Amino acid sequence: MPTSRRIVIAVFPDVDLLDVTGPAEVFALANRETGGRAGYRVQLAGPARGEVVTAAGVRLVADLSFTEAAQAGGVLDTLLVPGAVDLGPQGPVARIDQSVVAWLKAIAPQARRVASVCVGAHLLAAAGLLDGKRATTHWSTAAQLAADHPAVTVDADPIFVRSGQVWTGAGISACMDLTLALVAEDLGEQVALAVARQLVMYLKRQGGQSQFSVPLSRPAASRRDIEELRTHIAEHLDGDLSAAALAGRMSLSERHFARVFRQETGSSPAGYVEAVRVEAARRLLENTDQPLERVAAASGFGSVETLHRAMRKQIDTTPAAYRRRFRTTT
C-alpha cells in the first residue's frame, strides 16, 4: 500500500491563486511520477466549505471549513499557508486575517511540517510559529515582517528557508521550488527532478538562491546622487569601490557618506558592494565556464580566496559548490 500524505492548503478571500495551485500541481505530478506511491492527498480548507474568490478573480472550492480541518483527526502531513496582500501607500502590505491566525494556532501542532508561501509567512509569524526561527517571504514585505515580528530572523534573499519542520518560501513562482524541496525530502532528489522536468522548469533551484537581484531588492534612493552611485558600482565592479573612493566621488567625508548611504539603501557601502559583487560572481558561475580566477577578477574580488570568503558569508556556499549545483551551460 502506498504511503498516505495528507496535505492541507489554506484558502481565504483574495488569496494568491498561484500560491495554492502551484504547490497542488507539484504534489499531483509527484503522485503521477511515482505511480501513486507518493500518496499525496491535497485538501483545501477555508473559512467555510464552498467557493473562495482569489486575488485573480478565479474561484476555488474549499473541501473543508477551517473547523472541520482542525477536527478531522488522523495524520496531517503538511500544512501549507499562502497569503494575501493589500496595496498601501508604500506598496504591498501583507494582510493578517485573525481567523486564519487562530486556526493556525489550533491546527499547526497536528502537522508533521508547516510551510508558508510568499506572504503567508506573516500569518505563521502572527500565530507565533516563526518565533526564534529564520524565515523568508516575498522581498516586498520582508521589512514589514521584520518590523512586526522582532523574534523572527528575517532573511529576504533566499527563495525558501527551512528552520526545523517549518518552511517559508519567497514570492510567487518560488512556491514551486519550495514544494519541489518538500517532495525531495519525502521521495528523494530524483523524483523531485522528474517533477521539475514535467513542469518544464529549467532548473530546480536550491533554497540558497536569491529571489531578487541586489540593486532591485533595495529601496529606491530618494537622492539622485545615491542612485547614480549605485549605477556606478554595478558598472565598475572591478574598480576601486572602497568607502573612501565612493565618498570622494560624492565629495563627502567618509563618515557622512556612510551615514547617508545607509539611510538611503539600508546597507553599509561595503556590505552593498560585496552583495553586488557576489551577485555578479553568481551569474558568471551559472552561465560561464570561466576559471575561478577570472570570475573573481571580473566581479571585483581580486582573488579566489576573497571570493570564497564573500560567498561563504553571503550565501553559505563555495564558488565551486555553487557552480556544480547551478551552472546552466552544457
101: phi then psi, degrees, rounded to nearest 5: -60, -45
* 118 catalytic residue (yes or no): yes
Q: Are 146 and 152 in contact (CB under 8 A)?
A: yes
∠ CA 143-261-146, rounded to 5°? 10
Which has the closest alpha carbon to 209: 168, 161, 158?
158
- In the set 81, 84, 114, 118, the catalytic residue is 118
Q: Is 91 helix (H, G, I), strand (E, B) or coil?
A: strand
Q: First CA to last CA across the chain, in angstroms? A: 40
| Distance (Å, whole) CA 260 – CA 215 | 17
| Distance (Å, whole) CA 304 – CA 297 | 8
Q: Are 82 and 120 in contact (CB under 8 A)?
A: yes
Half-sphere exposure of 186 (CA within 13 A, CB side): 27
One-character DSSP codes across 117-185: -TTHHHHHHHTTSSTTSEE---GGGHHHHHHH-TTSEE--SBSEEEETTEEEE-STTHHHHHHHHHHHH
8: phi then psi, degrees, rounded to nearest 5: -110, 125
Characterize 111-148 residue by residue with b for buried, 16 or more Cβ atoms within 10 angstroms of its Cβ, and e for exposed: bebbbbbbbbbbbbbbbebbeebbbbbbbbbbebbbee
Q: How far is the CA of 86 from the CAs of 55, 94, 101, 183, 203, in angstroms?
A: 10, 6, 17, 31, 32
Residues marked as catalytic: 118
